[in-house]
């Protein structure tokens, strides 16, 4: 996977445009599993393709320590490794990459103009694969202690908590997977869950329940994060008794869902009440020539495998659109 140091040596936007021409067949916004798979399929269809990513390739998948449910990897694979494989395959078929921020999209006659770093780039089609970002708890102390004991990435920050006591907030797959990963470092992990049953897959829930380092606080909700220079305590409320208690803790890892990165596109496509982009089975949005794929669209299952599927379908739909309308 491309590192921050390697970004400095990648082609600049002007060089990419000079090579490919002022008009792209497809611009993909977002370099996670959906965007990278779309680039792979678009490249095989010989579409001039540009992926725009504002951070590092792989999206949220790249932060996963171990992925055990992606087909073809019976022994599992790390998030960084699978992201690197996606990237290598997309590049193999000719995709260009640019690291920057999309500032806006405008319709211009038959094409779209995508504004990046004060430069407009023309494209026949767009795939929005900008993914999602971790939801915040929106409680007192969360922002104050971010990076000082509050984290949203166990792979990134887990090593800082060797022999420490930490809390993981949430009860879904992400929360339980990361709690299990954190047992490599922490002496005690308390999963704080507002229900009386984990929402995670049964196999993950069983592993957590049987791990001697993991303790689960059922029917509990975190109300406040406290400390001086760093996190020192958390305030927990029992959702049944309504009683609140303080617990000493060294770190808080938050996994309570995600929000789609769709605000920029709200004037172009239709969103549901939660901000997810509405598409049909062909990944078509309400805007002609614009498609969406991955975690940013409304769907029932958000996994790497479904993101990859979305990306393949979206790229194929973009090819059909170009062949039908712009040739």
Would you please indicate which residues are annotated as catalytic (active-site) residues? 153, 156-157
DSSP 299-316: -S---HHHHHHHHHHHHH
> Which residues are CB-neighbours of 218 under 8 A, at least 6 positions away?
193, 195, 196
Q: Yes or no: say if 305 and 42 are a contact pair by the CB < 8 Å rule.
A: no
d(CA 264, CA 20): 26
What is the four-CA torsion angle of 304, 155, 53, 318, rounded to 10 degrees?
A: 0
Q: Rounded to 5 degrees, what are φ and ψ at 192?
A: -105, 115
What does the buried/exposed string (b/e) look like for 79-99 if buried means 16 or more CB atoms within 10 Å of the residue's CB? bbebbbebbebbbebbbbbbb
CA neighbor of 179 nearest in space, from 167, 195, 163, 194: 167
Q: Give, in degrees to the nearest 5, the angle at Cα 60 between 87 and 263.
A: 105
Q: Yes or no: say if 145 and 249 are a contact pair by the CB < 8 Å rule.
A: no
């Amino acid at each position: 996977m491309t590192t921050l140091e390697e970004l400095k040596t990648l082609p600049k936007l002007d060089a990419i445009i000079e090579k490919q021409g002022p008009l792209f067949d497809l611009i993909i916004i977002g370099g996670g599993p959906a965007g990278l798979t779309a680039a792979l399929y678009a490249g095989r269809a010989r579409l001039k393709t540009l992926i725009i990513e504002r951070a590092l390739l792989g999206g949220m998948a790249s932060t996963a320590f171990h992925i055990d449910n992606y087909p073809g990897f019976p022994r599992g694979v790390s998030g960084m490794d699978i992201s690197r494989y996606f990237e290598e395959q997309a590049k193999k078929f000719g995709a260009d990459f640019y690291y920057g921020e999309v500032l806006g999209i405008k319709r211009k006659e038959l094409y779209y103009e995508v504004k990046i770093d004060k430069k407009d780039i023309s494209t026949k089609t767009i795939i929005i694969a900008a993914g999602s970002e971790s939801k915040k708890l929106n409680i007192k102390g969360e922002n104050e202690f971010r990076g000082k004991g509050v984290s949203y990435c166990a792979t990134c920050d887990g090593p800082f908590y060797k022999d420490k006591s930490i809390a993981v907030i949430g009860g879904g797959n992400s929360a339980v997977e990361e709690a299990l990963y954190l047992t490599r470092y922490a002496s005690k992990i308390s999963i704080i869950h507002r229900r009386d049953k984990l929402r995670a897959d049964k196999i993950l829930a069983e592993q957590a329940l049987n791990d001697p380092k993991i303790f689960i606080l059922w029917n509990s909700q975190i109300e406040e994060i406290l400390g001086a220079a760093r996190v020192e305590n958390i305030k927990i409320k029992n959702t049944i008794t309504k009683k609140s208690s303080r617990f000493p803790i060294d770190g808080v890892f938050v996994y309570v869902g995600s929000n789609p990165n769709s605000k920029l596109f709200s004037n172009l496509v239709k969103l549901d009440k939660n901000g997810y982009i509405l598409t049909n089975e062909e990944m078509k949005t309400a805007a002609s020539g614009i498609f969406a794929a991955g975690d940013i669209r409304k769907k029932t299952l958000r996994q790497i495998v479904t993101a990859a599927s979305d990306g393949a379908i979206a790229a194929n739909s973009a090819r059909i659109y170009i062949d039908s309308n712009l040739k």
